[in-house]
Structure 1
Amino acid sequence: MKRSTLLPRLRTTLAAAALCATAAAAQASVLILGAPVQAGGLADVQSKIAATGVVSGVVDVFNVATGTPTLAMLTAYDAVLVYNESATVPFASALQLGNVLADYVDLGGGVVEAGLSHATSGFKGMQGRFVSANYDVFNTSNNQNSCGGLGQVVRSDSPLMRDITSFNGGASALCYRLTAKAGAEIVADWSNGQALAGYRMDHNGVVVGLNMFPTSSDVAPGGWNPSSDGALLMANSLAFAAGELPEPGSLALLGIAALAAGVAGRRRARAVKASAAAVTMA
């Protein structure tokens, strides 16, 4: 009896669909929204993340100490990293920034929050609907000095911890005394027991919390040690928030195709909504 060629053809078709869908969805572009203290701070974060090769699209920067991005600007990207580093160089408007980030997540955008943005409003942390409506991962708090480096990894299977073998917070090793909000999950801790990384997926977009300052010791005295995996932790977080897919082979081909198509669809929907909003405002 002649062997049927239906199943091999079906597998080939699914493989092609998966590859096409992955190619359409995997070019994730990200925007770094930083309020740096040091000259070259934004460029340091940008170059470190880009050098990991984890983010497949462009890595752009915007200084949120001097301005606040519009929703239309944010929707050109799949995920953003937002942070500030000192109460002396705060966000241009913590209120407006928090509101527009919440709007962005509502449209399916991913947010990675880091640095001083986790602080209370008195210390120039994030404000607006992003905090008041519980989009953020952590309850705001004040700083904890000398947190050390990577401690307990609570979820070693998390995409945030992919290929992470070490993290050294540097001479300062600043972090914040943070606890997870309801709906969020802690992935890893600092060596002093404070939360280092967590996420939540109960909104339209993924939100990741990183209890670290993104600028490395190459620019910021006392910053995280660039010989450790700080850049990879930030890049993994952005890729996860952006909906980047796991490697082929870790899911069934049909599952990869479906997930990739869903990610691509959400990106197209954000672009359409942003265009419609721009037309309405005009």
Structure 2
Amino acid sequence: MKRSTLLPALLPVFRSALAATALCATAFAAQASVLILGAPAQAGGLADVQSKIAATGVVSGVVDVFNVATGTPTLAMLTAYDAVLVYNESATVPFASALQLGNVLADYVDQGGGVVEAGLSHATAAFKGMQGRFITGNYDVFNTSNNQNSCGGLGQVIRSDSPLMHDIASFNGGMSALCYRLTAKAGAEVVAQWSNGQALAGYRMDHNGVVVGLNIFPTSSDASPGGWNPASDGALLMANSLAFAAGELPEPGSLALLGIAALAAGVAGRRRTRAVQAAA
């Protein structure tokens, strides 16, 4: 029987696929740790966000908190984590230093760290939003705004294949349902909208680290009157965003095997780099 010449030709492809699968599994098995950088308006707000995100099981490592109303983390502190969620919720409880925080977050992204920005940090400096190089260097996803709407809940999902929206069946903004009239910056993409048409979630990947923008206030109604309804998928939206920013979920369109392998290799490399920097 004549031996087929097709199989030998495909063997390198099979080997590459198997190697990619192994690499992907190795990198994605590594636990991602995240830090919540919150300036909560309500007592118990940080604990509420922490417990809600941890309970989803999406983030495989630790979920720590740091109150950025009373201090600003150092770059050395941030590099111990794969991604951070940063937000404030009231102009009466601002960031301890919006300028220093914005600068250190930009440095963190430069080193491959992932950032999820939410809440009042999307506002202008006059209304206690984020400042520093994170804004001036266009690391943020949305153009800043001071205009709030009562936005309702989950509206159009523009990118149903986005990891940010994985298993998101509903989102109810609660009695207040506060959001901002935001537009995506150049280089960013909106993946979902509120029911009133305002941007709900988006991301950008044109820096060394992934940056996600969530146009929500992270504390639920369990700790903040008028907050998002915990019976909906607000916690999962934040957890998905952190996992994506940390590199645990592939970006849309990267589900081809070699695409995932490349992403996994990058994540593993960034984690090793940050581990060395943190130990130095």
TM-score in terms of structure 1 length? 0.88
C-alpha change, 1:117 and 1:248, in structure 2 (3 Å) is closer
Tell whether 2:20 aligns with 1:16. Answer: yes
Q: Deviations over 1:147-198 (max 9, x none)?
A: 1001111111111011111000000000011111111111111111111111
Runs of at least 5 residues in structure 2 that lack an aligned partner in the other structure: 9-13
Cα drift, residue 144 of structure 1: 1.7
- Relative to structure 1, the CA distance from residue 259 to residue 38 in structure 2 (aligned partners, 3 Å threshold; closer, same or farther) is same
- Shift of residue 138 of structure 1? 0.5
Q: Which residue is equivalent to 2:5?
A: 5
- What's the CA shift string for 1:63-117, capped at 9, x where partnerless? 0000000000000000000000000000000000000000000000000000000
Judged with a 3 Å threshold, the aligned counterparts in structure 2 of structure 1 residues 179 and 258 are, in CA distance, closer, same or farther, namely closer
For 1:146 and 1:166, the matched residues in 2 are separated by: 17
Structure 1 residues 152, 13: CA separation in 2 closer, same or farther (over 3 Å shift)?
closer
8 A Cα contact 2:250 2:263, kept in partner: no
- Structure 2 CA distance, aligned partners of 1:111 and 1:118? 13
Deviation at 1:266, TM superposition (A): 1.1
Cα deviation, residue 142, structure 1: 1.1
Secondary structure, counterpart of 1:243 in structure 2: coil
Residue 169 of structure 1 corresponds to which residue in structure 2? Answer: 173
| CA displacement, residues 208-248 of structure 1 (integer Å, 9 cap, x when unaligned) | 00000000000000000000000000000000000003599
Higher alpha-carbon deviation: 195-204 or 258-267: 258-267
2:234 is matched with which residue? 230
Worse-superposed segment, 40-49 or 135-144: 135-144
- Measured after TM superposition, the shift of residue 22 of structure 1 is 2.9
- RMSD after superposition: 2.8
Query: Structure 1 residues 7 and 223, CA, compared in 2 at 3 Å: closer, same or farther?
Result: farther
Q: 1:5 to 1:246 in 2, by over 3 A?
A: farther
Deviation at 1:62, TM superposition (A): 0.2
Return closer, same or farther for 1:16/1:161 CA change in 2, 3 Å cut-off. Answer: closer
Percent identity over paired residues: 91
| Alignment-derived partner of residue 277 in structure 1 | none
Per the alignment, do residues 96 and 250 of structure 1 end up closer, same or farther by CA in structure 2, a change over 3 Å counting? closer
Query: Offset of 1:146 from its aligned partner?
Result: 1.2
Matches of 1:76 and 1:58 in 2, distance apart?
A: 11
Higher mean displacement: 223-232 or 237-246? 237-246
Q: What's the counterpart of residue 107 of structure 1?
A: 111
Could you tell me how far apart the structure 1 residues matched to 2:24 and 2:186 are?
Answer: 37
Change (3 A) 1:67 1:49: same
Call closer, same or farther: CA 1:25–1:5 in 2, change over 3 Å: farther
- Structure 1 residues 6 and 44, CA gap change in structure 2 (3 angstroms): farther
1:74–1:104 Cα contact (<8 Å) kept: yes
CA offset at residue 13 of structure 1?
9.4
For 1:256 and 1:3, locate their aligned partners in 2 and report how far apart those are by CA, in whole Å. 34
Give 1:199's aligned residue.
203
Question: What's the secondary structure of 1:61's corresponding residue?
Answer: strand
How many positions carry a matched residue from both structures? Answer: 273
- The TM-score, its normalising length taken from structure 2, stands at 0.89
Within 2, Cα distance between the matches of 1:151 and 1:249? 23
Unaligned runs of 5+ in 1: 274-281
